[in-house]
Amino acid sequence: MSTYRHRLPAFLLLLVTLAGLLAPRTAASRPLAPSTQPQDAPTIVINEVLAHADLPNVDAVELRNLSETPVDLSGWWLTDDDSRPQSDWVRLPQEALITGYGLYVVADTAEDWPFGLSEAGDTVYLFRPDPISGAPIRVEVMRFGASPRNVSFIRYVDAVNIVRFPLQEGAPTIGFANCDVRISTVQLEELMVDPASGGSEYVVIANVGSVAAPLYNTEHPAIPWKLVGQKSNGKDSDMFIFPEAVTLAPGERIIVSEVAPDLFRQAHNIPATVRIFGPLESGLSNTSERVALAMPLEPELDGSVNFAFVDEVAYSNLPPWPSVANNGLALVRIDPTRYANDVANWRAAPPLQTILSGRVDLRTNERRITTDQSAVPLLGGNSPALVANSLYLPVVNAYRCPFQ
């Protein structure tokens, strides 16, 4: 009798547990929140984005597989705002497959995306479903600025494995191998970010091209270029707006100084043939900052103007950036034919060499930065495998690189 009394509670507990497991459950009415934890090393990355498209081109996002293993993309999502309801995200179809080292393109060919990528700058989020819960897990996020018409952004990995998205040279290559980074002939050449005591900060801007370069919108001459820096909160800050009708002659270098131009010229004995502009609205940070040359695009219907960053660098006072702290040296660009926003293309050098004694060819002394990044093969631009399993049909202005 005592044995039965001890076993009864356990038996009842078992019945309650089974009833709970077998009871019908009501599905959650709200979508599962995205995970804020990205993959540590995703094999699928955003490789190219076209956000300022005129027909026959359309908004498009190109994905790339960095591994040799095909990946099932069924049910993956794209959105430009991760707070947007998931019903307004672009969902990849079932049986979507990206081949090893291949490309997969999602494009608004039917003009049925719930959102549009902004020519003024936007963000692209890539999510995959959790295999257990189905909740979206963020794979990658790409932020980009304003872009000229029918010019795409491409993925660029610098010497220390920082991923950046500069403008691409030439036409969009959606569905094919990317071309090179677009290199402006007007470019940042020297930054004095931590001058010696009594000195002042400055930026040297050079026209390395063979023709004159206007620093204004040629269709709207009253809209000039800008030199853009950053506020302490990371927001863009106009450091200097160029006067109207400024044009750089081939090979010309100008200075934008922290102090009044006359004071800078006198302090550094700058020849009268060198134009000096200023003063800078805000100084250069001696720790880290992004500095960019911003070109005005065509005015919008409401009169607003977007500015595309045609040349930029995000420098730092931390290694592997060369030290320019308390030593009177400036950050100087090494190779004008290479992308500026890469630590491997900058070195420390005595200030104003190109102004006072002509340009010093620094490419022979290029700093070598070791990295464990390995080259990732990609099928050739003429291979039809690149556009297999693609939602993007080739259009008139999608090209293979190099252009024929």
Pairing state between β 276-277 and 253-257: parallel
Angle at 295 between CA 194 and CA 343, to 5 degrees: 40
CB atoms within 10 A of CB 170: 15
- The string over 214-243, giving b where at least 16 C-beta atoms fall within 10 Å of a residue's C-beta and e elsewhere, is ebbbeeeeebbbbbbbbeeeeebeebbebe
Q: What domains, with CATH codes, occur in the chain?
A: 44-177+378-387 (2.60.40), 186-365 (2.60.40)
pLDDT in tens, the chain (404 residues): 333 334 444 444 444 343 443 333 333 333 445 444 444 456 999 999 999 998 888 999 999 999 999 999 999 999 999 999 999 999 999 989 999 999 999 999 888 899 999 999 999 999 999 989 999 999 999 999 999 999 999 999 999 999 999 999 988 999 999 999 999 999 999 999 999 888 999 999 999 999 999 999 999 999 999 999 998 777 899 999 999 999 999 999 999 999 999 999 999 999 999 999 999 998 899 999 999 999 999 999 999 999 999 999 999 999 999 999 989 999 999 999 999 999 999 999 999 998 987 654 444 444 444 433 333 444 333 333 343 333 333 333 455 666 44
Terminal alpha carbon distance of the chain = 95
- Whether the bond between 336 and the residue before it is cis, its omega within 30 degrees of 0, is no
**Cα(175)–Cα(395) distance, integer angstroms:** 10
3-class SS of residue 19: helix
Distances (CA, A) of 376 to 60, 121, 373: 23, 28, 9
**Cα(200)–Cα(330) distance, integer angstroms:** 11
- The pLDDT assigned to 359 comes to 53
Contact 76, 91 (CB under 8 A): yes
**Cα(296)–Cα(307) distance, integer angstroms:** 4
- The pLDDT assigned to 358 comes to 63
Distances (CA, A) of 37 to 47, 77, 78, 81, 234: 21, 16, 16, 16, 23
Task: Read off the pTM.
Answer: 0.82
DSSP code at position 265: H
CB atoms within 10 A of CB 315: 22
- The pLDDT assigned to 361 comes to 47
**Cα(173)–Cα(62) distance, integer angstroms:** 9
- The pLDDT assigned to 401 comes to 64
Residue 289: phi and psi, rounded to 5, are -170, 155
Distances (CA, A) of 309 to 32, 170, 226: 37, 16, 9
CB atoms within 10 A of CB 370: 8
**Cα(182)–Cα(102) distance, integer angstroms:** 23
Residue 109: phi and psi, rounded to 5, are -65, -30
3-class SS of residue 258: coil
- The pLDDT assigned to 286 comes to 93
**Cα(78)–Cα(232) distance, integer angstroms:** 31
Contact 72, 96 (CB under 8 A): yes
Question: Strand pairing partners for 314?
Answer: 290
**Cα(157)–Cα(154) distance, integer angstroms:** 10
3-class SS of residue 12: helix
